[in-house]
Structure 1
């Protein structure tokens, strides 16, 4: 099973917003530069994230995006679902036509695994990730290298 770039990039961008949530709104250009994600791809992802109530756009000078809810209330599974990504370990994408149009012997096993992964991701909030020391350290390095306009405050925990 593999999560596509759509899901990975959406989680990365949302984590970037969460890391900077107590600062001014974050621009997609900043995320694009620091995370090395195409700006046009981010625009597509953020349209979906906005439609699903996960981010809000702030217009005007100093504008950008911020989380629509506290990071404690946004799960990784919710982000992945918002960009139409599926957590699916089956070979048939859940259609039960694994083997010449019929369900294979291990279909239910892979369905169970998919459910376990989704449950696992549902139990992890953006806040959980923000509070990991290794995530904060990586964010500081990325902000420094990307020359972010307003870097992560090192004193924040």
Structure 2
């Protein structure tokens, strides 16, 4: 399983915003430069996040993007949900149809794995990632 580029880049953009003051909007160009991302692609990602209430825009000369709430109120699960939808390890683990579900010896593994990953994503906030020594370095991936 690999997270999409959309999710990885969107999370990077949100973490970039979370590391800023929080009250002042950050120009798209600055986020794109710091993260090494295309402005056009980043604008699409931030547009999706804005429509779901995770970021907000401020128009004008001093405008840009900022988090719609504090970094401690935005979970990684919310970000993934907006940009890619929920993570699914298998149809049987995520409530989908599988004719072998009851007889499959791996079903409990997929179900436990699904539940564990979902729990970690729901419990991890942007603030948690910012406070992590790995994520606090410049140009994080």
Normalised-by-shorter TM-score class: 0.7 to 0.9
Deviation sequence 1:68-118 (CA, Å, 0-9, x none): 001111111111111233212227895435xxxx34623453233122111
5 Å-filtered alignment, 1:111-130, equals 111-130=111-130
TM-score w.r.t. structure 1 length?
Answer: 0.74
Quick check: 1:54 aligned with 2:37?
no
Contact preservation (8 Å) 1:28, 1:64: yes
TM-score w.r.t. structure 2 length?
Answer: 0.82
5 Å-filtered alignment, 1:20-59, equals 20-22=20-22, 24-59=24-59
1:63, distance to aligned residue in structure 2 (A)? 0.9
Q: Distance in 1 between matches of 2:13 and 2:70?
A: 15
Unaligned runs of 5+ in 1: 144-157
Quick check: 1:109 aligned with 2:109?
yes
Contact preservation (8 Å) 2:93, 2:107: no
Contact preservation (8 Å) 1:7, 1:85: no
Quick check: 1:13 aligned with 2:13?
yes
Aligned match of 1:88: 88
Q: Distance in 2 between matches of 1:108 and 1:40?
A: 42
SS at match of 1:66: strand
SS at match of 2:90: coil
SS at match of 1:133: coil
